[in-house]
Amino acid sequence: MEDISKIAMSSPYHYQRMFYLLTGFTVYEYIRNRRLSKAASELITTDTKVIDIALKYGYESSEAFSRAFKKMHGATPTNIKKNKLSIKAFPKLVIQIKLKGDVPMDYRIEKKPAFSFSGITRTICTEKGANFIDIPKFWQEVIQDGSLDKLRKNVNSDMCIGACMPMDPKVDKEFDYVIGIFTDDELEGYSNFNVPSIDWAIFEVKGPVGEKLQETWKRIFSEWFPATGFAHDNLPELEVYYGGDTNSPDYITEIWIPIIK
């Protein structure tokens, strides 16, 4: 992962995150599916033994290979090789950046004064796409156990934020994610952060929290950045949630992206 990220001139964290947003697969899912697709093709077109194919495509035993193979193709390697059954192809990925412009993106560029926020921090691992599972679970936990309500009692507002904190390029297998609130006070027992005065690209997302939000993240990096000439600053990215019904079709979420020319 470190070598691939360097080729893409990115950190491992941002590489994995953007790969998922652009393709819908984590890097590890893509690699696994490609290996199993190529292994199946070789299995039915050559006389190579199952164990040799398993080792070639990164599996330490024929048992582990068979389990993964059956999960994807619906039959064991031996059964497919013997009976020439149908297999599933997972073609090589080709990413094309298309600047469509047919669906407008509601955004504004705004220079905000320095501000502070406080919240509950959890270290999130990026390996094997764990961050895409662990962040939603984190939100569920703080909502269900009352931690979010307790935090919001420190301010007279229903607003809250989710912040992806910048990572150390030398570490990049983990990053801190903060569920928090805007506040000028340093809150005891919580993580406290200061953000300098910078330019932000602020995107409005209308609709229930969930799929539309992920779609907007994807468009920001696949359409908006290539079209505007801005670059991402090494500061927190924020999702800003206002009060109201997060399942309403009229609910507004904002995505704040720190930018530089």
Q: pLDDT tens across 183-238, in order? A: 999 999 999 999 999 999 999 998 888 778 888 888 888 788 877 888 888 899 99
Residue 203 contacts residue 106 (beta carbons within 8 Å): yes
Report the pLDDT value the prediction gives residue 166, as an integer from 0 to 100: 85
To the nearest 10°, report the CA torsion of 199, 204, 210, 216.
-70
Query: Is the separation of the CB atoms in 50 and 81 below 8 Å?
Result: yes
Question: Residue 208: what residue type?
Answer: P
Sequence-distant (6+) residues with CB within 8 A of 29 are: 129
Q: What is the rounded distance in angstroms from the CA atom of residue 50 to the CA atom of residue 35? A: 14
Half-sphere exposure of 248 (CA within 13 A, CB side): 10
Please count the other Cβ atoms lying within 10 Å of the Cβ belonging to residue 155.
Answer: 16
Q: In 3D, which of 209, 167, 166, 189 has the Cα closest to residue 120?
A: 189
Of 161 and 87, the one with more pLDDT: 161
Which one is predicted more confidently, 90 or 121?
Answer: 121
pLDDT at residue 97, rounded to an integer: 60
Q: Is 260 strand, coil or helix?
A: strand
- Whole-angstrom CA distances from 3 to 7, 15, 116, 175 are 6, 11, 36, 19
CB-CB contact of 154 with 234 (8 Å)? no
Query: What does the pLDDT look like over 126-177, one tens digit per residue?
Result: 777 778 788 889 999 999 999 999 999 999 888 999 999 987 655 567 889 9
Q: What angle do CA 79, 84, 85 make, to 5 degrees?
A: 75
The mean predicted confidence, pLDDT, of the chain is: 86
Give Cα 117 to chain centroid, integer Å.
23
| DSSP assignment of 76-106 | -HHHHHHHT------PPP--------SS---
CA separation for the pair 203, 105 (Å, rounded): 7
What SS3 class is residue 155? coil
Q: How confident is the model at residue 101 (pLDDT cuts 50, 70, 90)?
A: low
Question: Where do runs of H (alpha helix) occur along the chain?
Answer: 2-7, 12-23, 27-45, 50-56, 62-73, 77-83, 131-144, 147-152, 211-219, 225-228
pLDDT at 147: 95
Domains for the chain: give ranges and CATH numbers: 2-83 (1.10.10.60), 107-260 (3.20.80.10)
Which two structure tokens, joined as six digits, stand for 47? 């006389």
- pTM of the predicted model, to two decimals? 0.72
